[in-house]
Amino acid sequence: MLKMKAACECCSAPLSLAGQAFICSYENTFCPACAEQFRQVCPTCQGNLVPRPSRRSSPTEVAKSGFKAKLEEILP
């Protein structure tokens, strides 16, 4: 699962789950201003910085459904 970092690794600007951020293949995470400053190239690994997908909530807040929910109903 993609680790959603809460702050830019360059300037420490806060990043929300649904807000815009940029990541490389190693999940180095940057705010839009820093990503633009680096011309979409990660300063750590030199890989491309691409838009990070957004989340509406934390994985622990996602509604339970399917197989896992049925198991939790059955098992004490």
pTM of the model: 0.72
Residue 66 lies inside a defined structural domain of this protein: no
Token pair 């807040």 is found at: 61
Given 3-state DSSP classes, what are the helix, strand and coil percentages for the chain, each rounded to the nearest 5? 25, 15, 65
pLDDT in tens, 38-59: 999 999 999 999 999 988 766 5
* CATH code of 9's domain: 3.30.40
**What's the angle, vertex CA 57, arms to CA 53 and CA 58, rounded to 5?**
95
Count of structural domains within the chain: 1
Instruction: Give per-residue pLDDT as tens, 17-31.
Output: 889 999 999 999 999
- The dihedral built from the CA positions of residue 8, 52, 16 and 66, taken in this order, carries a sign that is negative
The answer to the question of residue 68 being in a domain is no
